[in-house]
Chains A and B, each alone.
Chain A
């Protein structure tokens, strides 16, 4: 077999493997849209569940997920951004920095259900928050710290060193340099990280199983110490634990969840592309 033929065959196989990665996912989304779209209505999206969740809507679950996402971001964005500033602007390449990096890597690798256990042990029992928005949002925020840190760090490092040098040469302190010369140019990248966290926090189920999620709770939460329903957990419960439920309820919930998560991601991708084009250096 000539080298040319080998190349043709190899490239065909590579293209085939790419198709095998992309097509099932495309088909999956198509499948959910086709089956879920007929179920979506104003009553479904804005109504309360009725008849043991076999009818009605999913509004409390949407609101619950929204609360969790907002809570998770409020906690993890400040901590994550500060950590990234430390790693990118303050630390030298020391053993300690290496340890911080390794810790972040591990936070990113810990299984989601283990975060659930940790959140239950620390927030629900040890700190006495009970199953609540507070406990769930804190669990999700720790789980998503690596997302924010990585995105912010990349954004900070893409700001050219000359920006810092100019600022320092003008007599600014290190913090002033970070605050006025570096951070403003990194905001878009940080924003992308935040958006990605939104989508992840909205879609995770295992960390909220034992920390917040209520099986059936019509009505809306009154305080951060209330339990809530959440979209991903709702999908899990009606798929596995509620018999004789119409397929439309399930597909509608799945489509709503996928739709929300993917559209948030698409926003992040467009934002990033737009900012890359507009970059002035």
Chain B
């Protein structure tokens, strides 16, 4: 291969480093260009804290508080189930299960992660929602709780595999030292391994929650879609993601409604950005502290 083509390839390689950065910046810029026009119609406070989302009434109202709270309700519900179960499963796979079983479970978790969200939403609709309705004797089964159940299932694989990595990365000597001092395996896990793996586990939880906040299809199909500020988890809600997905098809490009959906996109982008950057910082701080 001659010098010239080699230089071309090296230039392409160096350039490709910029591509990912460029895409992140471009995503944000596009959301901003299409979304900022909303703020000529609605103030930022009215947008974030307005209690009414009536995008097609006259005059339209673009308050996303019910949508924010809808996302919050579903996320909180899912986290309450997924965090303890996810960490428990990660500990079981990393420290308790025999090697062969651990291998099978890891593959299983990977396969759960691969199930498309629209399929999870479908099962939530046809299988879980009727059960929720019967069990709590509700008028409808499509509630924030139903969505939380499905999202817990979806976010657990993320949590399990990242937390499992973190537990695995704890130096073996820690555990061996604890066992040599006469600790039981559980004492070694609880008192030594888990504290050492804490930053990684925390990051796993955050990334799992990030996934829940951004999840769209399952949530749209399972939570009923009522735009109302929820007072319990057993009410239908509408999340930010579901609102974008459900309403974008009906908007006219450049209308305030269209702009408002992009503005919701900006909010979502910023929330997940903050979650991801914080999770990264947590992992890195953890690495610096540990010897």
A residues whose Cβ falls under 8 Å from a Cβ of B? 3-4, 6-7, 10-11, 13-18, 20-22, 24-25, 28-29, 31-32, 79, 82-83, 85-87, 89-91, 96-97, 99-100, 102-118, 120-122, 125-126, 142, 145, 149, 173-176, 179, 199-200, 202-206, 209-210, 232-233, 235-236, 239-240, 247, 250, 254, 257-258, 261-262, 265-266, 269
Contacts and interface: CB of A to CB of B under 8 A. Distances in A.
Interface in B193-233: 207, 210-211, 213-217, 221
B141 to A, nearest CB: 14
Interface stretch (B59-67, B132-140, B173-181, B261-269): B261-269
Contacts of B20: 83, 100, 103-104, 107, 145, 149
B245 A20 contact: no
A204 B16 contact: no
A89 B108 CA distance: 33
Q: Which of B85, B119, B276 has the most CB of A within 10 A?
A: B119
Contacts of A254: 119, 122-123
B245 A109 contact: no
Contact of B23 (A89, A107, A210): A107
B111 A21 contact: no
Interface centre among B1, B6, B19, B86 (most CB of A within 10 A): B19
A11 B216 CA distance: 35
Contacts of A122: 26, 30
A interface, by DSSP: helix, strand, loop or mixed?
A: helix
Given A117-B261, A121-B262, A174-B10, A265 B24 contact: no
24 contacts: A14-B96, A17-B89, A18-B88, A25-B112, A82-B16, A83-B19, A86-B17, A103-B20, A105-B276, A114-B244, A114-B269, A116-B244, A116-B248, A117-B261, A118-B27, A118-B30, A176-B6, A179-B1, A203-B117, A206-B117, A257-B116, A262-B111, A265-B110, A266-B111
B14, B24, B84: most-surrounded residue (chain A CB, <10 A): B24
Contacts of A126: 30
Taking each of A82, A110, A114, A174, which has the highest tally of chain B beta carbons within 10 Å of its own beta carbon? Answer: A114
Contact of B116 (A87, A91, A203, A209): A203
Contact of A121 (B21, B34, B153): B34
B184 A109 contact: no
B252 interface: no
Given A17-B84, A209-B249, A257 B275 contact: no
A200 B12 CA distance: 27
Given A99-B21, A121-B262, A113 B214 contact: yes
B119 A21 contact: no
- Interface band, chain B: 35 or more
Contacts of B217: 205-206, 232, 236
B89 A103 contact: no
A31 B123 contact: yes
Contacts of A121: 30-31, 33-34, 262
Given A14-B91, A117-B34, A149-B20, 5 more contacts: A113-B216, A122-B30, A175-B6, A203-B114, A206-B245
Given A21-B156, A110-B27, A235-B119, A250 B268 contact: no
Contacts of A29: 115
A206 B241 contact: yes
A11 B184 CA distance: 12
Nearest to A4: B184
A14 B89 CA distance: 6
B74 to A, nearest CB: 13
